[in-house]
């Protein structure tokens, strides 16, 4: 195999693995949007806070890894529940912009509160996996990315099953479809809003640990959240397969951009290439590739 082709496959493979880790975070966004129609601009900050809790338990309080993971998941689930009850439930039925502004505000608060209460500066989040990449022909695959992709796939599949097959998952989609009719069927709608935010908490906790290991934990970890927008716009705001596909596309696009365009312009294309694609996608398919179309009968 020529070096050029090898380089191409390297970019693609890294793009796919990183892409799945984007999908995991985007899943958090999709879960909330699907069930409650709320757009969560604080998704990145959820991930950041999870990173802070995990790194804090591990490095500051000296907890073992399993405990740190458990603490991160438990606190984010609790956080999701409480947040829904205290803030978002009050905003049900208000204009979309109210929820958008509230979550933007929340994002800023979290960026302040995280470092303030847990630790300031930057801390690593070591996981007991090896650092040297696996080498497969031309491919160099970092183990953390394999772990990340594996966890993402497992959760995406798990939630996919939940929504398609389980009684609670079907009820949750019913709530997302039409709240009043869901109530008429005896479904306790408000409880499902809480459940959706709690599920986002689980996903964000895992995202925080994986991304925290990759990037280190500080306030900038929240920037990962910005990648959620091209992912969900490409895939569809409320679609789990869409989150997977969107994540893969964003991962590949940014790696290709970094590999082929960066050498000519001196770097940085990785950060905006997905957004170019997002804007193009909005012009062609505003509901994403798998997004729910508004069904209109004539």
Partner 1 sequence: MTSAAPRPFLAVSNIEVIYDHVILVLRGVSLAVAEGGIVALLGANGAGKSTTLKAISGLLRTERGEVTKGSIELHGKAIHRQDPSAVVKHGVVQVMEGRHVFEHLTVEENLLTGAYTRRNGQATRNDLDLVYHYFPRLTERRGYKAGYVSGGEQQMVAIGRALMARPTLMLLDEPSMGLAPKLVAEIYEIVARLNREEGVAVLLAEQNATMALQVAQHGYVMENGRIVLDGDAKTISQNEDIKEFYLGLTGVGQRKSYRDVKHYRRRKRWLS
86 belongs to the binding site for partner 1 (CB under 8 A): no
Q: Is 177 in the site for partner 1 (CB under 8 A)?
A: yes
Identified binder of partner 1 from the candidate list 70, 91, 147, 174, rule CB under 8 A = 174
| 295 contributes a contact to partner 1 by CB under 8 A | yes
Number of residues counted as binding partner 1 (CB under 8 A)? 21
Q: Looking at residues 179 to 218 of the shown chain, list those that interact with partner 1 (rule: CB under 8 A).
A: 179-188
Binding window for partner 1 (CB under 8 A); candidates: 53-61, 136-144, 166-174, 200-208: 166-174
- By the rule CB under 8 A, 265 interacts with partner 1: no
Q: Annotate the chain with DSSP letters as a single string.
A: --HHHHHHHHHHHHHHHHHHHHHHHHHHHHHHHHHH----TTHHHHHHHHHHHHHIIIIIS---HHHHHHHHHHHHHHHHHHHIIIIIGGGTTS-HHHHHHHHHHHHHHHHHHHHHHT-SS-B----SS--SPEEETTEEE-HHHHHHHHHHHHHHHHHHHHHHHSHHHHHHHHHHH-HHHHHHTT--HHHHHHHHHHHHHHHHHHHHHHHHHHH-BSGGGGGGGGGHHHHHHHH-TT-HHHHHHHHHHHHHHHHHIIIIIHHHHTS-HHHHHHHHHHHHHHHH-TTTTTPPPPP---
Which one, 108 or 178, has the nearer CB to partner 1? 178
The correct pick among 131, 167, 264, 283 for binding partner 1 (CB under 8 A) is 167
The residue (of 118 and 176) whose beta carbon lies closer to partner 1 is 176
Q: How far is the CB of 93 from partner 1 (least distance, A)?
A: 10
Min dist. Cβ of residue 271 to partner 1 (A)? 35
Q: Indicate the residue among 67 and 183 with the shorter CB distance to partner 1.
A: 183
Contacting positions for partner 1 (CB under 8 A): 167, 170-171, 173-174, 176-188, 292, 295, 297
């Amino acid at each position: 195999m020529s070096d050029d082709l090898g380089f191409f496959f390297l970019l693609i493979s890294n793009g796919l693995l990183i892409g799945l880790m984007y999908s995991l975070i985007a899943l958090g966004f999709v879960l909330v949007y699907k069930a409650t129609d709320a757009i969560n601009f604080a998704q990145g900050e959820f991930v950041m806070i999870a990173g802070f809790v995990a790194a804090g338990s591990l490095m500051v309080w000296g907890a073992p890894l399993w405990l740190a993971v458990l603490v991160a998941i438990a606190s984010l689930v609790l956080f999701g529940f409480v947040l829904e009850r205290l803030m978002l439930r009050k905003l049900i039925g208000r204009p979309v912009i109210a929820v958008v502004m509230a979550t933007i505000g929340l994002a800023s608060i979290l960026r302040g509160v995280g470092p303030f209460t847990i630790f300031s500066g930057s801390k690593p989040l070591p996981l007991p996996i090896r650092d040297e990449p696996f080498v497969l022909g031309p491919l160099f695959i970092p183990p953390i990315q394999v772990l990340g992709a594996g966890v993402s796939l497992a959760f995406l599949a798990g939630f996919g099953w939940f929504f398609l097959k389980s009684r609670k998952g079907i009820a949750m989609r019913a709530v997302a479809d039409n709240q009043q009719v869901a109530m008429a069927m005896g479904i306790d709608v408000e409880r499902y809003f809480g459940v959706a935010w709690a599920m986002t908490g689980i996903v964000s906790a895992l995202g925080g640990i994986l991304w925290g290991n990759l990037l280190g934990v500080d306030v900038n970890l929240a920037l990962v959240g910005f990648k959620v927008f091209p992912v969900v716009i490409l895939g569809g705001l409320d679609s789990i397969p869409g989150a997977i596909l969107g994540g893969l596309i964003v991962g590949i696009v940014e790696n290709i951009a970094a590999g082929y365009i960066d050498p000519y312009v001196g770097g940085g294309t990785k950060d905006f290439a997905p957004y170019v694609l997002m804007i193009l996608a909005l012009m062609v398919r505003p509901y994403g590739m798998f997004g729910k179309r508004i069904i209109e009968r004539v």
